[in-house]
């Protein structure tokens, strides 16, 4: 959870293990020192935040978090990752990651008041750090091509290329791009990225993420059905972008009402699959549908369960709403069937979820927006 813009913090990069959930990286060693939140943003002096002197180990020989811990000039970031326990949350043994890594000088340049507020609110600091993580392997070239990336916080970052050939992430400039690790990439940047949920609103710096993924899937659900919600946007178009030249993954990334789905696809390692030629059909639950799932946070952070649920929303074929109504069933890539019925009003139901926007044609398949999250019968 590989997004993004036409992005899905996405990647355009195909992973051979995207639909398997198979980990290919070594576990991140547990930190040996206890670092308190009060020392996290105290910048560590570094005289060389430049591209030529940051790497101190063989590229690609360790996972992204261990690689960060060995790069001169990223000590403050490393301390912050440990102090907020993101080292454990990111769980590099099961995920491919791209990290925008602010240098020590980037942390030191933060406004003092903001730095003090972050120190006083570890949850807000954790969310700021999540805003620097993409659950996918996204090269600098991918970033420029896609134009944005969906972060682990659920908010996107804008990507632009300058006239001088530099790549900018929001207002930050990538100093050193595409530092390889065994499970992803690191891009060092010259500013700390601050999400909108931190910068705006009366609840700024409370640690409240803007993503709807605030709840997981431990509550009982009826096998083979869907956790549904009374959807208030059935008469509106959820997907409004021009989808003809976009992959399914890019359409999801470009649609605000599908932001939580984008996070789920990335966390499950499926984004790269939906960048491939396909064809695929995706049943796409809205943010509101995900918000109705009990304990959603546990779902998004339980790789095996999440992979099963996400795969249950994908069919390895281009299946229109008319096809679904005619066939009455569709086989998901998770291996179990989805039941399709036609309601009295002519609308199609997928298990217990209703299709609220049908037949969104992408370059590699079709998307049907639904008002419920489909739960596999074995889940």
d(C-alpha 19, C-alpha 269), whole Å: 7
Closest CA to 213 of 144, 109, 135: 135
d(C-alpha 281, C-alpha 271), whole Å: 13
Stretch 337-349: mean pLDDT, rounded? 86
Tokens in use for 343?
């309601």
Tens digits of per-residue pLDDT, 202-229? 334 433 333 332 222 223 333 344 544 4
CA 32 to mean position of chain CA atoms: 29
Cβ contacts of 257 within 8 Å, gap of 6 or more: 233, 238, 239, 286, 287, 288, 369
Tokens in use for 346?
């002519």
The owner of tokens 């039941």 is 339
Share of the chain above pLDDT 90, in %: 22
Stretch 141-149: mean pLDDT, rounded? 81
Ramachandran area for residue 182 (φ above 0: left; ψ -120 to 50: alpha; else beta): alpha
pLDDT classification of 97: cutoffs 50, 70, 90: confident
Tens digits of per-residue pLDDT, 234-248? 345 788 777 878 889
More confident residue, 222 or 140: 140
3-state secondary structure 123-187: HHHHHHHHCCEECCCCCHHHHHHHCEEECCCCCEEEEEECCCCCEEECCEEEEEEEEEECCEEEE
The owner of tokens 């995706």 is 282
pTM over 0.75: no
Cis status of the peptide bond prior to 359, with omega within 30 of 0: no
Cβ contacts of 229 within 8 Å, gap of 6 or more: 288, 289, 291, 292, 371, 372
Total residues belonging to the chain: 379
At 248 the three-state DSSP class reads helix
More confident residue, 354 or 200: 354
Over its C-alpha atoms, the chain yields an Rg (Å, rounded) of: 21
Tens digits of per-residue pLDDT, 158-200? 899 998 889 999 999 999 999 999 888 999 999 999 987 666 5
At 305 the three-state DSSP class reads helix
Closest CA to 315 of 377, 366, 253, 252: 366
pLDDT over threshold 50, residue 308 = yes
* Phi/psi at 65 (5° precision): -70, -40
Domains annotated on the chain, with CATH: 37-199 (2.30.180.10), 226-374 (2.30.180.10)
């Amino acid at each position: 959870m590989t997004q993004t813009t036409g992005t899905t913090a996405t990647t355009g990069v195909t992973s051979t293990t995207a639909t398997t959930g198979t980990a290919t990286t070594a576990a991140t060693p547990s930190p040996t020192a206890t670092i308190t939140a009060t020392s996290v943003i105290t910048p560590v002096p570094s005289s060389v935040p430049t591209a030529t002197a940051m790497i101190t180990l063989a590229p690609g020989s360790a996972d992204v978090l261990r690689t960060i811990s060995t790069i001169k000039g990223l000590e403050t970031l490393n301390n912050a990752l440990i102090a907020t326990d993101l080292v454990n949350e990111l769980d590099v043994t099961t995920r491919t990651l791209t990290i925008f890594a602010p240098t020590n000088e980037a942390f030191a340049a933060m406004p003092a008041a903001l730095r003090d507020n972050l120190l006083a609110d570890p949850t807000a600091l954790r969310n700021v750090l999540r805003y620097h993580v993409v659950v996918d392997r996204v090269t600098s070239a991918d970033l420029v091509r896609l134009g944005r990336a969906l972060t682990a916080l659920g908010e996107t970052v804008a990507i632009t290329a300058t006239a001088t050939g530099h790549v900018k992430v929001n207002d930050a400039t990538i100093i050193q791009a595409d530092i390889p690790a065994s499970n992803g990439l690191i891009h060092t940047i010259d500013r700390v990225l601050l999400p909108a949920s931190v910068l705006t609103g009366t609840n700024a710096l409370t640690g409240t993420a803007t993503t709807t993924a605030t709840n997981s899937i431990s509550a009982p659900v009826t096998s083979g059905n869907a956790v549904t919600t009374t959807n208030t946007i059935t008469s509106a178009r959820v997907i409004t972008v021009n989808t003809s030249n976009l992959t399914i993954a890019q359409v999801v990334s470009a649609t605000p009402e599908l932001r939580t789905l984008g996070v789920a696809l990335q966390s499950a390692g499926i984004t790269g699959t939906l960048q491939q030629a396909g064809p695929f059909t995706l049943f796409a639950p809205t943010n509101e549908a995900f918000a109705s799932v009990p304990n959603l946070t546990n779902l998004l952070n339980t790789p095996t369960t999440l992979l099963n649920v996400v795969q249950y929303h994908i069919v390895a074929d281009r299946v229109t709403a008319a096809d679904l109504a005619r066939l009455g069933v569709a086989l998901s890539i998770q291996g179990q069937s989805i039941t399709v019925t036609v309601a009295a009003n002519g609308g199609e139901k997928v298990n217990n979820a209703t299709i609220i926007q049908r037949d969104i044609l992408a370059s590699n398949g079709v998307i049907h927006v639904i008002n419920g999250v489909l739960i596999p019968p074995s889940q």
